[in-house]
Chains A and B, each alone.
Chain A
Amino acid sequence: MNFSSNDTDDMLSETVRRFATEELRPKLREFEARRSVARDVQERFESLGLAAIDLPEALGGVGLGLSSRVLVNRILAEADAGAALALDRFGPAAYVIETFGGSDLLERYRDLLASRPETRLALLIDVDAGTVLEGPVRGEAAWIASGNADVLVCLRRDGAWVMESGFELEQARGAALHATGASRIRYGGAPAHVWRDSTLAAQAWAKVRLYHAALIWGVLVDAAGFSRRYALERVAFGKPIAHHQALAFLIVDMEIAVERVGLLIADAARLIDAGMDGTGAAASAFVDAVEASRFVGPNAVQILGGHGFMRDYPVEKAMRDSRALGLLAGGTDAAQDDAGAALAPANPMEFAA
Chain B
Amino acid sequence: MSGFSAALRAHIERAREWGRNEVRPAGLEADRNAAPLPADHPYFAKFVDFRRRHPSPAEDDTISEGSAVRMAVLNEENAYWDRGMGVAAPGPGLPAAIVAALGTPEQRERFLGPFRGAKEPRWGSFALTEPGGGSDTAAFRTRAIRTDRGYVLRGSKCFIGNAARADWVLIQANLDPEKGRAGQRAFFVEHGNPGMTGIKIEKKMGLRAYESVSFILEDCEVPHENLLGGEQPARTSQSSAYGATMGSLNTTRVGVAASAVGLARSAYDETLDIAKQSGSIKSARVRDRLEAMRRRLRAAWLMTLRAAWKADEKIPNIVDASMAKVFAAETAHELATVGMEIVGLEAGAGDCLVEKLFRDAKALNIVEGTGQIQRIIIARNLVGLPR
Contacts and interface: CB of A to CB of B under 8 A. Distances in A.
Given A1-B69, A260-B303, A248 B383 contact: yes
Interface string B277-308: 00001001001101110111111111101100
Interface string B369-385: 00010011011001111
Interface in A329-346: 336-337, 339-341, 343-344
B263 to A, nearest CB: 13
Contacts of B287: 340-341, 343
B299 A263 contact: yes
A231 interface: yes
Given A264-B302, A340-B288, A249 B379 contact: yes
A228 B382 contact: yes
Contacts of A231: 383
A8 interface: no
A267 interface: yes
Chain B interface size band reads 35 or more
B272 A351 contact: no
Contact of A343 (B272, B296, B300, B384): B272
A336 B301 contact: no
A242 interface: yes
B268 A248 contact: no
A2 B2 contact: yes
A352 B295 contact: no
A340 B291 contact: yes
A288 B323 contact: no
B385 A248 contact: yes
B322 to A, nearest CB: 9
Given A228-B383, A263-B302, A343-B272, A351 B294 contact: no
Contacts of B284: 337, 340
B327 A348 contact: no
Contacts of A256: 323, 326-327
A240, A248, A344, A351 — most chain B CB neighbours (10 Å): A248
Nearest to B312: A1
Given A340-B284, A343-B291, A351 B3 contact: yes
B3, B296, B299, B302 — most chain A CB neighbours (10 Å): B299
A253 B306 CA distance: 18
Contacts of B326: 256
Given A1-B305, A340-B287, A249 B383 contact: no
| Secondary structure dominating the interface of B | helix
Interface string B128-159: 00000000000000000000000000000000
B299 A243 contact: no
A291 to B, nearest CB: 8
Given A340-B284, A343-B287, A348-B265, A1 B327 contact: no
Contacts of B300: 260
A274 to B, nearest CB: 9
Contacts of A249: 372, 375, 379
A310 B229 CA distance: 60
A74 B313 CA distance: 26
Contact of A287 (B3, B76, B295, B378): B295
B1 interface: yes
A349 B382 CA distance: 30
A251 B381 CA distance: 12
B327 A260 contact: yes
Given A249-B379, A255-B382, A340-B284, A1 B294 contact: no
A259 B290 contact: no
Nearest to A249: B375
B233 interface: no
Contacts of B297: 348
B50 interface: no
B375 A252 contact: yes
B310 interface: yes
B270 interface: no
A288 B375 contact: no
B272 A352 contact: no
A353 B309 CA distance: 17
Interface in A260-292: 260, 263-264, 267, 270, 281, 284, 287-288
Interface string A229-245: 00110000001101101
Interface in A299-353: 336-337, 339-341, 343-344, 348-353
21 contacts: A1-B305, A1-B309, A2-B309, A3-B305, A239-B386, A243-B383, A243-B385, A249-B372, A249-B379, A255-B378, A256-B323, A263-B306, A281-B298, A287-B292, A288-B299, A339-B291, A339-B295, A341-B287, A352-B1, A352-B2, A353-B2
Interface of A: 1-4, 228, 231-232, 239-240, 242-243, 245, 248-249, 251-253, 255-256, 259-260, 263-264, 267, 270, 281, 284, 287-288, 336-337, 339-341, 343-344, 348-353
Q: Top 3 A-B pairs ranked by shortest CB distance?
A: A340-B287, A260-B299, A242-B383
